[in-house]
Amino acid sequence: MADVKLIGAPLSPYVLRAMIALSLKKVEYELLQEKFGSELLLKSNPIYKKIPVLIHHDRPICESAVIVEYIDEVWPESGWGAILPADAYHRSLHRFWTFYVDDKWCPSLVATGKAETEEAKAEAVEQVRAGLLLLEEAFVKLSEGKAFFGGDRVAYLDVTFGCFANWIKAVEQLVSVELLDEATMPALHGWAVRFVEHEAVKEVMPDSGKVLEYLKTLQSKGKKDAADAKNS
């Protein structure tokens, strides 16, 4: 049995964070695609009861951003090298923007895909694009004219935000709206193209078409559940 196991579905951007980090470090692991509510998942993450969970030597580590940091600390010199920036100030900025992505930006992206009216969709799209514009500014400052948020190399914020790259494409196709466009966000657009083409990322990044089909399934289920609730 592998010493490293990862509980989660590969289409989840949060699970993908851990997968990218493990790929960057060239760490072999076993992916366990447990169902929500499974005995192993509840035992491994009894507080939040959600994926991903990294299990290393039978000890669970929960929450995707925490998992990425754990992987970086346990395998500091492996693979492509350090994920967290060496400079304390830059580490704090990467963590700050990761929190922003999870707390503010991602909920807007989800709301875009779930919007039931044109008004709701327009509001969600505006929030997503406003967030991307902020991240465009953050990229310009952090990258200092180089390829990634980490400069010459993929770093923490590249992983924690880049896991959404193909989800952005899928949501764009789902709602027929351009979110990350080259004209208004050239730096961030270029970064996204480079990130998904990185060797370690390509190994694990799901195709945007697969993400789109998954989103369509969720959308259909949501409409059916709403209709059933209305008729009950």
The pLDDT-based confidence of 92 (bands split at 50, 70, 90) is very high
Percent of the chain with pLDDT strictly greater than 70: 95
Angle (nearest 5°) at CA 115 between 222 and 215: 55
CA atoms within 13 A on the CB side of 121: 14
pLDDT score recorded for residue 66? 98
Q: Say yes or no: domain 4-74 is CATH 3.40.30.10.
A: yes
When pLDDT is averaged across residues 108-120 and rounded to a whole number, the result is 92
Q: Reduced to 3 states, what is the DSSP secondary structure of residue 162? A: helix
Q: Compute φ and ψ for 144, nearest 5 degrees.
A: 55, 45
Which 8-state DSSP code applies to residue 4? E
Residue 232 has pLDDT above 70, yes or no: no
CATH topology of domain 88-211: Glutathione S-transferase Yfyf (Class Pi); Chain A, domain 2 (1.20.1050)
Q: Please write the tens of the pLDDT for every residue from 172-192.
A: 999 999 999 999 999 999 999
What pLDDT sits at residue 28?
Answer: 96
Which carries the bigger pLDDT value, residue 113 or residue 19?
19
Average pLDDT of the chain to the nearest whole number: 94
pLDDT at 1: 43
Q: Give the whole-angstrom CA distance, residue 26 versus residue 81.
A: 10
C-alpha dist (Å) from residue 219 to 116, 126, 169, 214, 224: 10, 20, 16, 9, 9
The pair of structure tokens assigned to 132 is 């991307």
- Return phi, psi of residue 163, to 5°: -60, -15
The owner of tokens 């799901």 is 206
Per-domain boundaries in the chain = 4-74, 88-211
15: nearest Cα among 67, 57, 60, 58: 67
Q: How far is CA 149 from the centre of its chain?
A: 15
pTM greater than 0.85 (yes/no): yes
